Structure 1
Amino acid sequence: MPSYYTLYRAGTLGSALIDSLNELVTAGHVTPQLAIQVLEQFDKSLGEALVERVKAKAIMKGRLEIYRNYEEVWTLILKNATFKAEGEAISADKVKIVACSARRAGE
């Protein structure tokens, strides 16, 4: 069985899903096993949707302060970063980027 990244659970949508599932489990409306299956499907569906539906491209510039690779998960820290996408630019003093290998989701 393929394993998917759980990064998106920390976002707004993932947090709301986890809170809702916790309430349903606490109230006895769903089993903990079903809640875990829902979260696993969320991970799979969100990863696939990003690969298939997002076609936007962005340009980023900045000074690479730190980079790490652990189990095909890259962590990059950029200083004085600028991102340009679809004609708009955003700047930040410090940015943390977490990038994952696309191969893991498709295994």
Structure 2
Amino acid sequence: MTAAHHHDVFQALADPTRRSFLKLLADKEMSIAAITNEYPITRTAVNKHLQVLSEAGLVTKGKIGREMRYKLKPAPLLEVKDWLAFFEIYWDEQLDKLQQFVEADDE
């Protein structure tokens, strides 16, 4: 993978570990060491996941002293929200059908 390669938001969110990282970083900035302490995976694996999130623009990183610290950057999640919003009509239709079915069964 080249330095110019960027992951898209959907690819970054495809992994459950990365999704949990975003939840962990939602309210606080954390170092790689602190994140590693939260998971049963190696520091190298944590670093690779953070790299993908960073390349997708979902986290920002900054050096404080000798530590690299990460925090959530939620703006790219708007792309996911917009994409999901398109499908809400289908969910609403299905829920309406379910409601009609349940109410018809009660009569």
TM range (shorter): under 0.3
Tell me which of the two structures has the higher relative contact order, counting C-alpha pairs closer than 8 angstroms and 6 or more residues apart.
2
| Higher-helix-fraction structure | 2
**What TM-score does the superposition give when structure 1 sets the normalisation length?**
0.25
| Higher-strand-fraction structure | 1
Higher Cα Rg, which structure? 2
**What TM-score does the superposition give when structure 2 sets the normalisation length?**
0.25
